[in-house]
Amino acid sequence: MTASASRRRWLKTALLVQGAGAAARSAAAADLPVPVSLADELARALAQNSPLLVLVTLRGCPFCRIATENYLIPLRREQGLSIVQIDMRSRQLVQGFSGPGQSQENLSRLWGIKLAPTVLFFGRGGLEVAERLVGGYLPDFYGSYLDERVRVARSAVRA
């Protein structure tokens, strides 16, 4: 291999790596945080007189991506709501509302989650304070359904 061909190969590889890194950073920026402790996240939310929203997602789910990027991240940014995500197949440990840490997968199972995306609305004591928003198949109405559940959850937390 000539020096010129070697430089071209190196340059192509560097550009691919750089592009992959930018794509990964972009994808990471479009995700909601994964909680270390749901109890701590709930305490922060309640200190602001707000519910904790938990998005149960599934890696690779296109509806989850739409819900995250188009609805939940803007809601978090614009209204300052506490919103975190867990992956229903992840074995990463999360401290629940009480008791020992458990996998995100196990939490999803305990909550009876069968479909992603599902948004849960938690208030005092780690109790659900609004109806779950299950699925993402009604894009024309998703924002309205989400807004209504946030309103109900806020009212429950402030009562």
Angle at 52 between CA 129 and CA 47, to 5 degrees: 105
Mind listing the pLDDT tens digit for each residue in 72-104?
999 999 999 999 999 999 999 999 998 789 999
Distance CA 77, CA 5 (A): 48
Mind listing the pLDDT tens digit for each residue in 118-157?
999 999 999 999 999 999 867 689 999 999 999 999 999 9
Query: Which residues span the domain enclosing 25?
Result: 1-30
- Do residue 18 and residue 47 come from a single domain? no
Alpha helices, DSSP H, located in 30-138: 38-47, 62-66, 73-79, 104-110
Question: How many other CB atoms are found less than 10 A from the CB of residue 48?
Answer: 11
- Do residue 2 and residue 40 come from a single domain? no
pTM: 0.81
- Do residue 121 and residue 140 come from a single domain? yes
Place of tokens 């061909």: 5
Task: Using the Cα atoms of residue 48, residue 50, residue 56 and residue 62 in order, give the sign of their dihedral.
Answer: negative
And the tokens for 69? 């990027």
